[in-house]
A and B are shown apart, each in its own frame.
Chain A
Amino acid sequence: SQQGEEDPQALSIQEGENATMNCSYKTSINNLQWYRQNSGRGLVHLILIRSNEREKHSGRLRVTLDTSKKSSSLLITASRAADTASYFCATDDTRGSYIPTFGRGTSLIVHP
């Protein structure tokens, strides 16, 4: 299995601004997922993008995938204080069994 790496490690913005987080990975994937983790809680699935998709939207979330660069980005528009959390990308691989591996996450702080 492989590991996605998020960038930046930490991000601090003001409410209303957009937040962009990136994820890079090493080998071919079937899909890439983004998860969110509030402090002291388990991870919550946000969005999945498949390898044949380039962009996907869900509410204020926009995810892009560039398989040629082996990277993905998560954009949160019009951020709110409640978006404060850690965000992780998870990649599977193309070997058949779905074994996702997570990066170390981006810690996002949105100041009210």
Chain B
Amino acid sequence: DAGVIQSPRHEVTEMGQEVTLRCKPISGHNSLFWYRQTMMRGLELLIYFNNNVPIDDSGMPEDRFSAKMPNASFSTLKIQPSEPRDSAVYFCASSWSDEQFFGPGTRLTVL
């Protein structure tokens, strides 16, 4: 298995633009997590899906952020409009038990 796949690996955009991050979880995993990592705030859980259903989105910072999981093999995290303070590394992780498997992350820079 290729592991959790995230795209793009790097994204540089200008303030106000829409950004879409993509994740393909490991086949057979029923839970998917989106995290954001910054030096200041560490690793923050943004949203958690179980069987494609959002269970906890209390970590989503504001309405500019939205996440979807239309099927078991794909999820997106969208930021619209993006702001410089959204610059961070965004990780997707999947699991079927207590152990999480992380993707390589998307490094987002908003100018």
Contact B42 A105 (CB under 8 A): yes
CA distance A90 to B95 in the complex (A): 14
- Output the least CB separation between A99 and chain B (Å): 6
Residues of B near A35 (CB, < 8 A) are 100
Contact A33 B99 (CB under 8 A): yes
Contact A102 B102 (CB under 8 A): no
With an 8 A cutoff between CB atoms, is A41 at the interface?
yes
Please tell me the number of chain A residues within 8 Å of chain B, measured between CB atoms. Answer: 24
**Among listed A20-28, A42-50, A64-72, interface-contacting one:** A42-50
Residues of A near B93 (CB, < 8 A) are 42-43
CA distance A99 to B34 in the complex (A): 11
Please tell me the number of chain B residues within 8 Å of chain A, measured between CB atoms. Answer: 21
Contact A88 B99 (CB under 8 A): no
Given contacts A88-B43, A99-B45, A103-B42, contact A41 B105 (CB under 8 A): yes
With an 8 A cutoff between CB atoms, is A101 at the interface?
yes
Some 22 contacts from A to B, beta carbons below 8 A apart, are A1-B45, A33-B98, A33-B99, A40-B105, A42-B93, A42-B102, A42-B104, A43-B91, A43-B93, A43-B100, A43-B102, A44-B102, A45-B99, A48-B99, A97-B56, A98-B31, A99-B55, A102-B43, A104-B42, A104-B43, A105-B42, A105-B43
Closest 9 CB pairs of A and B: A42-B102, A104-B42, A102-B43, A43-B102, A45-B99, A42-B104, A42-B103, A42-B105, A42-B91
Which B residues contact A (CB, under 8 angstroms)?
4, 31, 35, 42-43, 45, 48, 50, 55-56, 91, 93, 95, 98-105
